[in-house]
Amino acid sequence: MSRISRDELYIFVAFAFSQRSTCARRDVGCVLVDDRGHVLATGYNGVASGAPHCKGGKLCPGANAESGKSLDQCYATHAEQNALLQCADVYKIHTAYCTAFPCVHCLKLLKNTGCERIVYSEGYPNDCASDVWDREIRHLPLEEIEEMRQVHGETVIKPTDEKDCSWPMCDCLDEHGVCPHIDLIDG
**Beta-carbon-side half-sphere exposure of residue 146 (alpha carbons within 13 Å):** 13
Question: At 66, which amino acid appears?
Answer: E
From the candidates 66, 80, 122, 136, give the one annotated as an active-site residue.
80
Residues 6+ apart with CB under 8 A from 186: 153, 154, 155
Annotated active-site residue 8? The verdict is no
Residue 33 near residue 97 (C-beta atoms within 8 A): yes
Alpha-helix runs per DSSP H in 19-147 = 79-86, 104-111, 129-132, 142-145
Please give the positions annotated as active site.
80
